[in-house]
C-alpha cells in the first residue's frame, strides 16, 4: 500500500503531463505483449526443419503431395504458404519467374506482418521522453513564476512545487521510455531473425522447384526443335 501511496503522490506532484505519459506507457505495454506473443509464441525458428520434409517429394515430382503437406501446416508455418504458392506455379509449368513471383507475394506479406506495430515502440519511447521534458519545462516555468510574482511567504512553497513537477515528469517519462526502447530492440532483432530464417528456407524450395521444372516456353521450344529435326529425316526416308 505504501508503494501505491508513493505513486499517487508522484502523480499529484507531477502535474498534467503525467497522464499523457501514462497513456503512452499503457499503449507501449500492450504492443510489447502482443508482439511478444506473435514473434516468440506463435512463430518459431524452424523453417529449415519444415521444408526438409518437402525435398524428396519435389525431386520425385510429387507436387500434389507437397501441396497437401504444406497446406496442412500453413496455419502455423508461414514458409509453408510460400511453398504452396511456388509449388502450384511449378505444377502448371510457369517457369522460374512465375515460381519466384508467386513465392515473393507470400514472403512480402509475411515479412510485413513480422514488423507490424514494432516500430511504434521506438516512436512511443521518444514521445514519452519528450513529454517528460515538456513536463520539466512547464514545472520550471512555474518555479520562475513563483520567484518573480509570488508573495515572499509563498515563494518557497511554489518553487518547491514547480521543481517537484519538473523532476517527477522527467523521471516518469524515462521510466516509460526505457522499457519501450529496450523492447523495440529485442522485438526487432527477433523479427529480423524470423525473416532471415523464412526467406532462406523459401529460397531453398525455389531452387528445388526452378531447377526441376522448366518454363513452358523452354519446353515448347525444345519440342518444336525436336519436331523440326525429325521432319527432314522423315522426308528423306
Per-residue pLDDT at 98 = 85
* Global pTM value: 0.77
Per-residue pLDDT at 216 = 42
Low-confidence ranges of the chain (pLDDT < 70): 1-6, 149-150, 152-153, 155, 212-237
Give the phi and the psi of residue 116 in degrees, each rounded to 5.
-60, 130
Alpha-carbon dihedral of residues 35, 36, 40, 41, nearest 10 degrees? -90
**Model confidence over 111-125: pLDDT tens digits?**
988 888 999 999 999
Alpha-carbon dihedral of residues 37, 39, 43, 47, nearest 10 degrees? -170
Per-residue pLDDT at 153 = 66
Per-residue pLDDT at 130 = 94
Tell me the C-alpha distance between 229 and 233, whole Å. Answer: 7
**Model confidence over 200-237: pLDDT tens digits?**
999 988 888 877 665 444 444 444 444 444 444 443 44
Per-residue pLDDT at 213 = 60
Q: How far is CA 195 from CA 42, 47, 114, 188, in A?
A: 14, 10, 8, 11
Task: Supply 77's cell numbers.
Answer: 508455418
Per-residue pLDDT at 218 = 45
Instruction: Give the residue from 197, 224, 225, 229 showing the smallest Cα distance to 78.
Output: 197
Tell me the C-alpha distance between 154 and 49, whole Å. Answer: 72
Tell me the C-alpha distance between 106 and 71, whole Å. Answer: 14
Task: Supply 126's cell numbers.
Answer: 521518444
Per-residue pLDDT at 209 = 84
Amino acid at each position: 500500500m505504501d508503494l501505491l501511496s508513493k505513486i499517487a503522490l508522484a502523480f499529484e506532484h507531477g502535474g498534467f503531463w503525467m497522464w499523457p505519459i501514462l497513456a503512452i506507457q499503457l499503449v507501449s505495454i500492450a504492443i510489447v505483449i502482443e508482439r511478444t506473443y506473435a514473434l516468440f509464441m506463435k512463430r518459431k525458428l524452424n523453417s529449415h526443419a519444415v521444408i526438409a520434409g518437402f525435398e524428396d517429394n519435389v525431386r520425385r515430382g510429387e507436387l500434389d503431395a507437397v501441396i497437401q503437406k504444406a497446406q496442412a501446416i500453413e496455419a502455423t508455418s508461414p514458409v509453408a504458404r510460400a511453398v504452396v504458392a511456388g509449388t502450384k506455379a511449378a505444377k502448371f509449368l510457369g517457369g522460374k519467374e512465375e515460381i519466384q513471383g508467386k513465392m515473393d507475394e507470400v514472403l512480402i506479406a509475411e515479412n510485413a506482418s513480422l514488423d507490424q506495430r514494432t516500430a511504434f515502440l521506438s516512436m512511443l519511447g521518444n514521445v514519452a521522453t519528450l513529454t517528460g521534458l515538456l513536463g520539466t519545462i512547464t514545472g520550471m516555468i512555474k518555479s520562475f513564476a513563483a520567484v518573480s510574482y509570488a508573495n515572499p511567504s509563498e515563494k518557497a512553497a511554489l518553487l518547491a512545487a514547480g521543481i517537484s513537477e519538473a523532476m517527477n515528469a522527467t523521471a516518469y517519462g524515462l521510466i516509460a521510455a526505457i522499457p519501450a526502447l529496450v523492447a523495440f530492440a529485442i522485438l526487432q532483432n527477433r523479427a529480423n531473425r524470423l525473416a532471415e530464417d523464412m526467406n532462406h528456407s523459401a529460397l531453398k524450395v525455389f531452387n528445388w522447384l526452378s531447377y526441376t521444372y522448366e518454363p513452358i516456353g523452354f519446353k515448347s521450344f525444345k519440342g518444336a526443335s525436336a519436331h523440326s529435326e525429325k521432319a527432314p529425316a522423315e522426308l528423306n526416308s
